[in-house]
């Protein structure tokens, strides 16, 4: 059974059909890329999976549960984690507290009130920060980080609760080539920890880290397969040579 | 930015010195001043009575700060919890001849908490995330409706309210205005200030700090944001209820205006004037506004129009100094604070 099964998902905004009967399967341990031209529905699909909005029709099943109408907090508790396209770190909190906030989300309200996990989570917070090269910035405000560092912090926060499936919406958006290369290096090792769906415009980046790709165009699935298969697909090449 | 350059910059940033925290110092000074007040004012009993009122109203302002300053709930309903609890202890005294503080003060808190929980269930816990405006109008409507209801209800004295409220007692000892009542009010303020401070600085406080900045983001971490809001709102209702009971006992009177939008707005002003999101700010705001009112009202030259002067001062502070008086000396970083095991003064 696939970890994530999206079946016939449609999303309609007024007269616009942003998604039109999309099917998607993601196996456990897979790194799955969503590509397509601007406006093809990639981010809309990711948001439908994360719960940022609900599919108009169709179903989303995750780890055996139907989460089509589940609110974001329930999806998060089921093991889904989402990194927004626009960086949404908490600017007025320290870098350390941003990660702690993500890590402690599974604690009970009573445990939070008593700050029972504060000491226990310290090592995990620092490990997450070291992994994303932010340990030296732990006490700085998140708002003081560069754009690239904020993207890394967001990924660190999204990974912190140990999700089964991580959803990344353009994690290298606005990054320099060097930062993009480093981001690729930082993401590669998480393959042993969770599955990944990534929306990204940088095709070289996405080909390097993903096993499978799904191509969307005008809200529909144009192709789905391994990176090599998609690379040979004439329809995909047509889109990327004529419209991108 | 190259990674190497960035790392060097990071290390430099990591070791920079940080200013000493001011808030704990301000809290200690305030505590010392409030403990000393009845001794300093021993020859002026009317001022001890005034300061007792100020302490009780500080509790009300503190309850609003928990809502707005820490949880982003614009509550115009704090007077509702305050007033209803005040009426309940007055009625218990009148109809049951009971005013033992070990029974009535917890009862007042329970009433405040239950009312706040009921309002939270309606305003905060619906399927759709409520807007701030919806919550503000909802709480405002609750306070307004309660004031109108009480003003026309003969059993609770209608527009005249309830007077000659039975004195608060502990065993055979009855609390009248003065040093003893001041001590009870100060003890209540210190206890609930410390409890609120514990919440604000706990890991739960980190959730509240995150909520204030980006509620949506927190939901994607797995937090049930509206539940946290409802819990804080309920706790704030308990504090407002305690404040209302003490106020009724201290005044010996309660009336419809004690549970209406007017008093709720006053609590908002106390908080914004002193500095919301700081806990000590609302206490300072209450003291400043009440003492300013007292001095202005007692000054012959401006006796006729002191409310206008006070109104202009409040307007200027709220408009041009949105972080309140405390914002003049305490940095935004310190107001928000640090929460982890590596907590450092901001």
DSSP helix/strand/coil, B169: strand
Closest CA to B50 of B333, B294, B282, B277: B294
- Kindly report the number of other CB atoms within 10 A of residue B12's CB atom: 10
Residue B3 and residue A178: Cβ atoms within 8 Å?
A: yes
Q: How confident is the model at residue A131, as a pLDDT? A: 92
Mean pLDDT over each residue of chain B, to the nearest integer: 90
Closest CA to A43 of A29, A53, A28: A53
Q: How confident is the model at residue A244, as a pLDDT? A: 45
What gap in Å lies between CA B209 and CA B211, rounded to an integer? 5
Distance to chain A for B18, nearest Cα, Å: 10
> In CATH, what number is assigned to the domain containing residue A131?
3.40.50.300
Instruction: Answer whether B198's CB lies under 8 Å from A53's CB.
Output: no
Between β-strands A4-13 and A57-62, what pairing exists: parallel, antiparallel or unpaired?
A: antiparallel
What gap in Å lies between CA A105 and CA A77, rounded to an integer? 9
Q: How confident is the model at residue B111, as a pLDDT? A: 97
More confident residue, B17 or B108: B108
A117 touches chain B (CB under 8 A): yes
A129 touches chain B (CB under 8 A): no
First to last CA, chain A: 35
Residue A72 and residue B341: Cβ atoms within 8 Å?
A: no
What are the beta bridge partners of residue A19? A11
Burial zone of B304 (CB within 10 Å; 0-12 exposed, 13-18 middle, 19+ buried)? exposed
Instruction: Please tell me which of the candidates A72, A115, A125 has its beta carbon nearest to residue B202.
Output: A115
Determine the residue of chain A that is closest to B200 in CA distance. A113
Instruction: Please tell me which of the candidates A50, A72, A100 has its beta carbon nearest to residue B339.
Output: A100
Q: How confident is the model at residue A175 (pLDDT cuts 50, 70, 90)?
A: confident
- Put simply, the chain A residues between 152 and 171 with a CB less than 8 A from any chain B CB are 157, 161
Backbone angles phi, psi at B330, to 5 degrees: -105, 130
pLDDT digits (tens, 9 = 90+) for B20-74: 789 999 999 999 999 999 999 999 999 999 999 999 999 999 999 999 999 999 9
What are the beta bridge partners of residue B253? B163
Q: How confident is the model at residue B18, as a pLDDT? A: 63
Q: How confident is the model at residue B342, as a pLDDT? A: 60
Closest CA to B283 of B63, B85, B111, B122: B63
Tokens 């690729």 correspond to A184
ipTM confidence: 0.90
Q: Taking each helix axis from N to C terminus, what angle separates B101-123 and B78-96, rounded to the nearest 10 degrees? A: 140
In order of their start, the domains of chain B are: 20-31+45-336 (1.10.3470)
Q: B204 contacts in A (CB within 8 Å)?
A: 109, 112-113, 115
pLDDT digits (tens, 9 = 90+) for A65-115: 999 999 999 999 999 999 888 888 999 999 999 999 999 998 998 999 998
DSSP string, B60-97: HHHHHHHHHHHH----S-HHHHHHHHHHHHHHHHHHH-
Taking residues B171-195, report their average pLDDT.
96
Backbone angles phi, psi at B127, to 5 degrees: -70, -35
Taking residues B133-144, report their average pLDDT.
94
Q: How confident is the model at residue B17, as a pLDDT? A: 56
Closest CA to B174 of B106, B253, B59, B252: B252
Instruction: Answer whether B232's CB lies under 8 Å from B143's CB.
Output: no
Which of A88, A89, A93 has the most B C-beta neighbours within 10 Å, making it the best mutation to test the interface with B? A93
pLDDT at A235 over 90: no
B11 touches chain A (CB under 8 A): yes
DSSP string, A101-170: HHHGGGS-HHHHHTTTTHHHHHHHHHHHHHHTT-GGGTTSBGGGS-HHHHHHHHHHHHHTT--SEEEEE-
Q: B206 contacts in A (CB within 8 Å)?
A: 93, 97, 100-101, 104, 112
Q: How confident is the model at residue B1, as a pLDDT? A: 37
Residue A105 and residue B339: Cβ atoms within 8 Å?
A: no
Determine the residue of chain A that is closest to B211 in CA distance. A90
Residue B327 in tokens: 């914002």
More confident residue, A241 or A167: A167
A190 touches chain B (CB under 8 A): no
Q: Which helix (H) or strand (E) holds B253?
A: strand B253-254
- Put simply, the chain A residues between 51 and 110 with a CB less than 8 A from any chain B CB are 51-52, 71-73, 76-77, 81-82, 84, 88, 90-94, 96-97, 100-102, 104-107, 109
How many structural domains is chain A composed of?
1
The distance from CA B312 to its chain's CA centroid, rounded to whole angstroms, is: 23
Instruction: Supply the DSSP symbol for B1.
Output: -
DSSP string, chain A: --SEEEEEEEEEETTEEEEEEEEEEE-TT-EEEEE-STTSSHHHHHHHHHTSS--SEEEEEETTEE-TT--HHHHHHHTEEEE-SS----TTSBHHHHHHHHHGGGS-HHHHHTTTTHHHHHHHHHHHHHHTT-GGGTTSBGGGS-HHHHHHHHHHHHHTT--SEEEEE-TTTT--HHHHHHHHHHHGGGGGT-EEEEE-S-HHHHHHH-SEEEEEETTEEEEEEEHHHHHH-HHHHHHHHHT-
Instruction: Answer whether B193's CB lies under 8 Å from B327's CB.
Output: no
pLDDT digits (tens, 9 = 90+) for B230-244: 999 999 999 999 999
Tokens 């609890």 correspond to B85
Non-local CB neighbours of B29 within 8 Å, separated by 6+ positions: none
Q: How confident is the model at residue A122, as a pLDDT? A: 93
What gap in Å lies between CA A210 and CA B81, rounded to an integer? 57
Q: A121 contacts in B (CB within 8 Å)?
A: 340-341
Q: A93 contacts in B (CB within 8 Å)?
A: 206, 209-210, 213, 336, 339
B345 touches chain A (CB under 8 A): no
Instruction: Please tell me which of the candidates B10, B206, B213 has its beta carbon nearest to residue A137.
Output: B10
Task: Give exposure, B314-329, as e/b (b: 16+ Cβ within 10 Å).
Answer: beebeeeeebbbbbee
Q: How confident is the model at residue B345, as a pLDDT? A: 39
A114 touches chain B (CB under 8 A): yes
Closest CA to B260 of B119, B148, B178: B148
Between β-strands A212-217 and A220-226, what pairing exists: parallel, antiparallel or unpaired?
A: antiparallel
B223 touches chain A (CB under 8 A): yes
Distance to chain B for A85, nearest Cα, Å: 12
A146 touches chain B (CB under 8 A): yes
Instruction: Please tell me which of the candidates B1, B218, B333 has its beta carbon nearest to residue A141.
Output: B333
- Put simply, the chain B residues between 178 and 217 with a CB less than 8 A from any chain A CB are 199, 202-204, 206-207, 209-210, 213-214, 216-217
More confident residue, B314 or B105: B105
What gap in Å lies between CA B299 and CA B24, rounded to an integer? 35
Size of interface A-B (CB pairs under 8 A): 137
Q: How confident is the model at residue B306 (pLDDT cuts 50, 70, 90)?
A: confident
pLDDT at B6 over 50: no
Q: A113 contacts in B (CB within 8 Å)?
A: 199, 202-204
Please report, rounded to a whole number, the percentage of residues in chain B having pLDDT higher than 90.
Answer: 75
Cα–Cα distances in angstroms (integers) from residue A54 to residues A2, A15, A58, A74, A173, in the given order: 21, 17, 10, 13, 25
What gap in Å lies between CA A180 and CA A171, rounded to an integer? 9
Residue A112 and residue B2: Cβ atoms within 8 Å?
A: no
Residue A39: domain span: 4-242
């Amino acid at each position: 059974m696939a970890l994530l099964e999206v079946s016939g998902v449609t999303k309609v905004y007024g007269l616009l059909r942003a998604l039109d009967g999309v099917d998607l399967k993601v196996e456990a341990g897979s790194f799955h890329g969503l590509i397509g031209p601007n406006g093809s529905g990639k981010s809309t699909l990711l948001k439908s999976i994360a719960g940022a909005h609900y599919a108009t029709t169709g179903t989303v099943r995750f780890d055996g549960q139907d989460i089509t109408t589940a609110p974001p907090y329930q999806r998060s508790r089921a093991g889904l984690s989402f990194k927004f396209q626009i960086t949404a770190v908490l600017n007025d909190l320290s870098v350390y507290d941003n990660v702690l906030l993500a890590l402690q989300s599974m604690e009970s309200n009573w445990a939070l009130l008593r700050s029972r996990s504060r000491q226990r989570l310290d090592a995990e917070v620092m490990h997450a920060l070291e992994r994303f090269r932010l340990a030296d910035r732990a006490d700085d405000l998140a708002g003081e980080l560069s754009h690239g560092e904020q993207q890394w912090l967001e990924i660190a926060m999204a990974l912190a609760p140990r999700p089964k499936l991580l959803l990344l919406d353009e994690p290298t958006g606005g990054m320099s080539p060097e930062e993009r290369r480093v981001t690729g290096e930082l993401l590669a090792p998480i393959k042993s920890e969770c599955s990944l769906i990534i929306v990204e415009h940088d095709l070289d980046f996405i080909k390097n880290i993903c096993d499978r790709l799904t191509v969307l165009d005008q809200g529909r699935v144009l192709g789905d397969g391994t990176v090599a298969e998609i690379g040979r697909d004439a329809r995909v090449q047509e889109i990327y040579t004529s419209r991108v | 930015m190259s990674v190497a350059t960035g790392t060097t910059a990071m290390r430099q940033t990591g070791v920079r010195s940080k200013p000493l925290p001011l808030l704990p110092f301000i809290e200690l000074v305030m505590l010392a001043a409030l403990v000393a007040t009845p001794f300093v004012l021993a020859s002026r009993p009317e001022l001890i009575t005034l300061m007792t009122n100020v302490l009780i109203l500080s509790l009300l302002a503190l309850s609003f700060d928990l809502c707005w300053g820490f949880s982003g709930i614009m509550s115009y309903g704090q007077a509702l919890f305050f007033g209803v609890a005040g009426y309940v202890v007055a009625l218990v005294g009148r109809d049951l001849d009971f005013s033992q503080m070990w029974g009535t003060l917890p009862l007042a808190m329970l009433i405040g908490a239950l009312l706040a929980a009921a309002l939270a269930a309606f305003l905060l816990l619906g399927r759709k995330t409520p807007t701030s405006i919806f919550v503000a109008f909802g709480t405002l409507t609750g306070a307004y409706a309660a004031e109108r209801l009480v003003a026309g209800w003969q059993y609770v004295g209608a527009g005249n309210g309830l007077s000659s409220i039975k004195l608060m007692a502990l065993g055979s000892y009855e609390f009248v205005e003065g040093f003893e009542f001041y001590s009870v009010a100060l003890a209540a303020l210190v206890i609930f200030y410390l409890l609120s401070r514990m919440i604000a600085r706990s890991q739960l406080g980190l959730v509240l700090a995150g909520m204030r900045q980006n509620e949506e983001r927190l939901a994607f971490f797995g937090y049930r944001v509206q539940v946290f809001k409802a819990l804080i709102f309920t706790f704030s209702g308990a504090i407002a209820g305690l404040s209302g009971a003490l106020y009724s006992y201290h005044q010996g009177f309660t009336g419809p205006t004690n549970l209406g939008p007017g008093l709720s707005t006053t609590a908002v002003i106390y908080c914004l004037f002193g500095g919301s999101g700081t806990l000590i700010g609302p206490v300072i705001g209450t003291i400043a506004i009440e003492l300013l009112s007292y001095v202005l009202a007692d000054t012959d030259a401006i006796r006729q129009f002191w409310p206008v002067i006070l109104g202009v001062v409040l307007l200027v502070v709220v408009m041009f100094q949105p972080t309140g008086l405390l914002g003049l000396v305490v940095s935004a970083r310190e107001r928000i604070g640090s929460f982890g095991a590596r907590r450092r003064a901001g």
